[in-house]
Each structure stands twice: as C-alpha cells, then as structure tokens.
Structure 1
Amino acid sequence: MLPDIPLSMVRPGSVVRISQIIGGCDDVKRMAELGLRDGTEVEMLQSGSPCILKVGQSKLCFRQSEILNILVNTDGAER
C-alpha cells in the first residue's frame, strides 16, 4: 500500500481516491459541498495552479493553496 500524497503531486490523467481533507471546519465543509469527501474518486485533468479535477460528471477548478489540503491514495489509480 502506497502512502497518501497531496493532490498537487498527482499527474494529469491519473485517477485517485481522496483519503483525507485537512483544514478548518468551513474549508472541509465547502469541499464536501463540492463533492470532495473521503473515499471520493477524482481524475486529475490539469495539475498546477489552477488545478482542474473531474468529480463524477463535474469539473472543478482549484487554486494551489486549496488542493494542498487534500490527501489522496494512488493505489491502482493510474489509467
């Protein structure tokens, strides 16, 4: 089992599963409202700043500071 890594380190085209969201209560709640919760599978479309993720049928865009608080698991995630 590979260790969790920050979402910012994921390469475009990779599919990963969120393992932990670290931040204040309001930040974590906001991420959950956007569909980003522990266990959610996301695809990295564009890394860097801004970062573009595919979550289900939606695409979300984040600045670098926001994605550093999201840890993901890459086990078996590469496409």
Structure 2
Amino acid sequence: MNGAEKIAVSLPRGLAERARQAVRQGRAASVSAYVASALEQKMDLDELAVLLDDMLAETGGPMTPAERREADKVLGGRPGARRRT
C-alpha cells in the first residue's frame, strides 16, 4: 500500500475471521488490503447512490410501481427484488 496510514479498527469477530480466510485463500494480499478494497467498494456505491438520487430529482422522483414493473419486464429484472427507495 503506497502512502498508507495505519489506523485501528474494531470488527465483529466473524468479519475479521472472514477477512483472514480471504487472505489464506489468496483472495487478498493482507487483511489491510482486503479491508481497503471493501472500503473502496462502499465509497463507490455511496457515490452511485448520490448520483442516482440526483438523477431521480432531475427526472421527477422515484419510479411508480407501474414504471418499476415495466422496467423489470424490459430489463429482465426480478419483481420484488431489493430496490433503493
């Protein structure tokens, strides 16, 4: 990690073990790298959520239930799947 800053973070025991398991399985170079990757993904999702909120505000707000059903039909989505509200 270039330009890294060391911080202390407390994690639930199960999450910490899963991160160590990812390292053992070669899915991450270290627990720090695994956590950093997860934080980057979370930040990307947060930025997308803000973008979606901005787009919805510009286009008249969230879709109606009828618009959602039509979008699911056209896009092949699963009706009732988890959605942002």
**Range into which the TM-score falls when normalised by the shorter chain:** under 0.3
Please report the TM-score for the alignment, with normalisation by the length of structure 1: 0.25
Q: Which has the higher contact order (CA 8 A, sep 6+)?
A: 1
* Larger strand share, 1 or 2: 1
* Larger helix share, 1 or 2: 2
Please report the TM-score for the alignment, with normalisation by the length of structure 2: 0.24
